[in-house]
């Protein structure tokens, strides 16, 4: 399955370091413009569940999430569903070592029923153009990962 949106960035941090950031659910809000955190419902790993929390201005919502790929320091992917169980999307982080740190790729896969995409999603999230927003969101998140890595490298 090809991602709907895919963006990559090179960062001056080891894959293990970046892995710890993208799987640290309570602190994800420090990197993402929409996600404000989450919490594991199970021990982190393949098949684990977590609850994500998001915000757009005054609108706030939560999602049911299941991990579908968990390859430490390499790949973290999860399927997102509404609180009622309707499919929404899949998000994925892929980490690849480089000579100066790692390349981080964030992928978004659109899924779910037409009615969720056309009516429920915009009403709950306040975003009528989800793909357009997610391009900016992914770019924001990747830039925040790079900035964190550069801050840590400068402090070392």
Give yes or no for a contact between 93 and 22, defined as CB atoms under 8 angstroms apart.
Answer: yes
**What is the full per-residue pLDDT of the chain (156 aa) written as tens digits?**
899 999 999 999 999 999 999 999 999 999 999 999 999 999 999 999 999 999 999 999 999 999 999 999 999 999 999 888 888 999 999 999 999 999 999 999 998 777 788 888 888 899 999 999 999 999 999 999 999 999 998 997
Q: How much is the pTM?
A: 0.94
Total domain count, the chain: 1
Nearest to 7 by CA among 93, 80, 129: 93
Give the pLDDT of residue 118.
82
User: What is the 3-state composition of the chain as percent helix, strand, coil, each rounded to the nearest 5?
Assistant: 35, 40, 25
Domain of residue 82, residue span: 5-155
Give the pLDDT of residue 72.
98
What CATH number does the domain containing 89 carry?
Answer: 3.30.530.20
């Amino acid at each position: 399955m090809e991602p709907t949106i895919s963006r990559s960035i090179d960062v001056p941090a080891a894959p293990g370091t970046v892995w710890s950031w993208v799987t640290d659910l309570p602190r994800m809000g420090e990197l993402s413009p929409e996600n404000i955190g989450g919490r594991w419902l199970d021990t982190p790993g393949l098949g684990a569940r977590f609850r994500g929390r998001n915000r757009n201005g005054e609108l706030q919502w939560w999602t049911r999430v299941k991990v579908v790929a968990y390859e430490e320091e390499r790949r973290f992917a999860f399927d997102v569903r509404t609180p009622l169980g309707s499919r929404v999307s899949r998000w994925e982080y892929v980490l690849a070592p480089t000579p100066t740190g790692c390349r981080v790729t964030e992928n978004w896969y659109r899924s779910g029923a037409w009615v969720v995409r056309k009516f429920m999603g915009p009403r709950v999230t306040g975003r009528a153009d989800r793909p357009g927003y997610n391009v900016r969101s992914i770019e924001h998140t990747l830039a925040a990962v790079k900035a964190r890595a550069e801050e840590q490298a400068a402090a070392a």
